[in-house]
A and B are shown apart, each in its own frame.
Chain A
Amino acid sequence: MKETYETKIEQLKHIIEKIEDGNTGLDESMKLYEQGAVLVKQCEVMLTEAELKISTLSRDA
């Protein structure tokens, strides 16, 4: 998670804003949408596949 999760969410927001902006062409909007859909999928995977990992450092390290 995650810096990468965070950046993905940021990218996603940026893409949405670009599509919402009236100046973006339809072609570009479609491309952006595809990118956005990929990001959503990746974020979903990140959220669902997170798992607890526990490790303990050695005291002498």
Chain B
Amino acid sequence: MDWFNRSDVAVVIEKAPLRVSELSAIIEGLLDNPLLQDILVRGELTNYTHHARGHRYFSLSDKGGGNTAAVIKCVMWRSDADRLSFSPSEGMEVIVSGTVRAYAPHGSYQLQVKELRKAGLGEKFLLVEQWKKQLAAEGCFSIDRKRILPLFPSRIGVVTSETGAVIHDIRTVVGRRYPLEIIISPTTVQGEGAHIEIACAITRLAGRVDVVIVARGGGSFEDLFPFNHPEVVRAIVACPVPVVSAIGHEVDVTLSDLAADLRAATPSAAAELVVPDRVVLTARLRELKSRLNTALTDRVIRAQEEICDLQDRLRPQKFFRKLEERKQNLADLSDRLERSFLNRLVRDRLILAEIKTALDSRSPVAVLARGFCVAEKNGAIVRSACTIEKGDTMKIRFYDGSSQVIVERVNHERNI
């Protein structure tokens, strides 16, 4: 065969050769595939090294794969490795999540691991997911179910370990902010069967307290696992008073946290949420006190103003003017009365004088003064000579006196 004249070979040679870095770039591009990114891989951990800089290098292979075992090199950078809650060891069955990348300097590809869990744990993760769905369907995490914490609890219940930092922190915060009665409902917070104890500890507080704190210090996913258990979640939901959770660190969210009425980042934060601050209360009370005083002072001032107003209305110039007017009126009336009386008197006097004159002119005395006299017999005026006869005694009245006479003779000028 004429190798040197083969047309296909000639084509290859005519193509410019790739540089290794170019080839690496192509491979890198090919690996940039969604199938290889953010994937979960399960396998046996081998060749584990903890690098001095904190990075972890290891391989994953199929367990019991024998000769056909596939292997992939893995790296876990320090920033991710720091979050490991356990020390991985040779032969451990693990589930990792990560992305496949080419590593040009070694001409190899490797899995960059973000998270590393024990395979058994992986099952627990799945279980938690399953519980979460189930409990959500029961309405355990419903926002509508969340209750408002009492403003002024008289007793608070704490479900936690009797010993350790958690209860100490809560005591300290409560003592500082507003000392009151704390009822500890002690429980184991991790390990097999812990969920039963925790649920009982929550249930036991019913009717004894106004609010419950369920707390646990930080720990691995496995340590916090009991707080994911449906029994604990349902105990929280069934608790007749609001529940505040403070389980693990802020980044660890358990199902108990989701079911609690309020979630606190730490046990101290939970205590702060549960009790009011006495300093704030005292300040607010002082404010109310001063408002009360001001309110009464203002009320009294208003009353004084009212009195002043009334006083003004009671003795105003107008009133005096009216009084003056009335006095004047009275004086006028009295003047008029006096004048009219005097006038009347003058007129009456005039009338009286006229009457007197008239009377005088008709007076018998005046007639007598002109030289007439009146004869009376037995007190009766003698108007006719017929009424007297000789020997009668008569009284003759003059204008300035009278005399007694005896009739000597009676002359009748007319015959009767």
Contact status of A40 and B175, CB under 8 A, knowing A2-B153, A47-B282, A56-B186 = no
Cβ contacts under 8 Å, A56 to chain B? 162, 183-186
Q: List B residues 252-310 near A (Cβ within 8 Å).
A: 278, 281-282, 284-285, 288-289, 291-292, 295-296, 298-300, 302-303
Known: A6-B151, A54-B171, A56-B162. A33 touches B183 (CB 8 A): no
B397–chain A nearest beta-carbon distance, Å: 95
Measured as residues with beta carbon below 8 angstroms from the partner, the interface class of chain B is 35 or more
B178 touches A1 (CB 8 A): yes
Number of interface residues of A (CB under 8 A): 34
**In the complex, chain A residues 31-47 whose Cβ is within 8 Å of any chain B Cβ:** 33, 36-37, 40, 43-44, 47
Total number of residue pairs linking A and B with CB closer than 8 Å: 100
B217 within 8 A of A: no
Chain B binding surface, main DSSP class: helix
Please determine whether B181 and A2 come into contact, CB atoms closer than 8 angstroms: no
Residues of chain A from 1 to 49 with CB closer than 8 A to chain B in the complex: 1-3, 5-6, 9, 12-13, 15-16, 19-20, 22, 24, 26, 29-30, 33, 36-37, 40, 43-44, 47
Q: Are A40 and B171 in contact (CB under 8 A)?
A: no
A44 touches B285 (CB 8 A): yes
Q: Which of chain B's residues have a CB closer than 8 A to the CB of A2?
A: 152-154
Does B113 interact with chain A (Cβ within 8 Å)?
no
Bound state CA distance, A51 and B285, in angstroms? 19
Cα distance A3–B276 in the bound complex, in angstroms = 13
Contacting pair B292 A9 (CB below 8 A): no
Q: Mark B195-208, 1 if CB is under 8 A from A, else 0.
A: 00100110011001
Asked if B182 and A54 make an inter-chain contact with CB atoms under 8 angstroms apart, the answer reads yes
Residues in A neighbouring B292, C-beta threshold 8 A: 12, 15-16, 19, 33, 36-37, 40
B406 in the interface, Cβ–Cβ < 8 Å?
A: no
Complex contact A33–B152 (CB within 8 A): no
Complex interface: chain B residues within 8 A of A40 (CB): 285, 288-289, 292
Known interface pairs A16-B291, A47-B278; A55-B178 also in contact (CB < 8 Å): no
Evaluate whether A57 and B185 lie within 8 angstroms (CB atoms) in the complex, with A1-B180, A50-B180 already known.
yes
Q: Which of A6, A9, A56, A57 has the most CB of B within 10 A?
A: A57
Contacts of B151 in A (CB 8 A): 6
On whether A20 and B182 interact (CB within 8 A), knowing A13-B288, A54-B171, A57-B204, the answer reads: no
B299 proximity list for chain A (CB < 8 A) = 19, 24, 26, 29
Q: Which of chain B's residues has its CB closest to A33's CB?
A: B296
Residues of A within 8 Å of B174, CB to CB, are 52
> A1 contacts which chain B residues (CB < 8 A)?
152-154, 178, 180
Q: Are A22's CB and B278's CB within 8 A?
A: no
A57 and chain B: residue at smallest CB distance = B185
CB under 8 Å from chain A, chain B span 203-252: 204-205, 208
Residues of chain B lying within 8 A (CB to CB) of residue A16? 288, 291-292, 295
Residues of A within 8 A of B122 (CB): none
A41 closest partner in B (C-beta):
B289
* CB-CB nearest in chain B for A1: B152
Shortest Cβ distance from A54 into B: residue = B182
Among A6, A22, A44, A59, the one with the most B-chain Cβ atoms within 10 Å of its Cβ is: A59
Instruction: Name A's B-contacting residues (CB within 8 A).
Output: 1-3, 5-6, 9, 12-13, 15-16, 19-20, 22, 24, 26, 29-30, 33, 36-37, 40, 43-44, 47, 50-57, 59, 61
Extra contacts, 11 of them, besides A2-B154, A52-B174, A59-B197 (Cβ < 8 A), are: A1-B180, A15-B292, A16-B295, A22-B302, A29-B296, A40-B289, A51-B180, A53-B182, A56-B183, A57-B208, A59-B200
Q: List 6 A-B contacts (CB under 8 A).
A: A1-B154, A43-B285, A52-B181, A54-B182, A56-B186, A57-B186
